[in-house]
Amino acid sequence: MTDQKPVTKSVRLNQQESELLAQISEQEGVSEAAILKRFVREGLVQYRLEEAVAVYEQGEADLQAAARYAGISVYQMMAELQKRDIAPPAAAEKFIEGLRTLVETFGGSEALRQTIAEYEQQQS
């Protein structure tokens, strides 16, 4: 394991942000530096999750790769996607393909045919 040396970064806050930080620090009973560090870490985690969701939704990564990128388990990634009502990209395509096959085989309403056509047009 490599020894990781801390790196100092600085940030400029406006007066309101500074006062809010001081208030939170007092409420939590920890230093402002500790609060800032926690907020930065939480923000980085959230950023990675948002990126992972985006690449998954665009079909650029599978579930496992997206979870790994976000630094969470596959189960947690599935729960996050479900919470956001994001279906697996391939599943939606297979579902539409299945609907199209059923319509071609057994017939279907004009409304269903139109819905399938609109969906396919949106995807292209």
pLDDT of residue 122: 76
Nearest to 99 by CA among 119, 122, 121: 119
Backbone dihedral region for residue 71 (phi beyond 0: left; psi -120 to 50: alpha; all else: beta): left
pLDDT of residue 92: 67
Report the half-sphere exposure of 49 (CA within 13 A, side-chain side).
16
Length in residues, the chain: 124
Helices (H), the chain: 15-28, 32-57, 63-70, 74-83, 89-106, 110-123
Percent of the chain with pLDDT strictly greater than 90: 59
Q: What is the pLDDT of residues 48-91, one digit of tens each?
A: 999 999 999 888 888 899 999 999 999 999 999 999 999 877 66
Question: CA 38, CA 88: separation in Å to the nearest integer?
Answer: 32
Instruction: Work out the pLDDT band at 20, boundaries 50, 70, 90.
Output: very high
Q: What is the pTM of this model?
A: 0.65
Residue 31 has pLDDT above 80, yes or no: yes
Question: CA 67, CA 80: separation in Å to the nearest integer?
Answer: 10
Question: CA 23, CA 28: separation in Å to the nearest integer?
Answer: 9
pLDDT of residue 11: 92
Question: CA 26, CA 124: separation in Å to the nearest integer?
Answer: 54
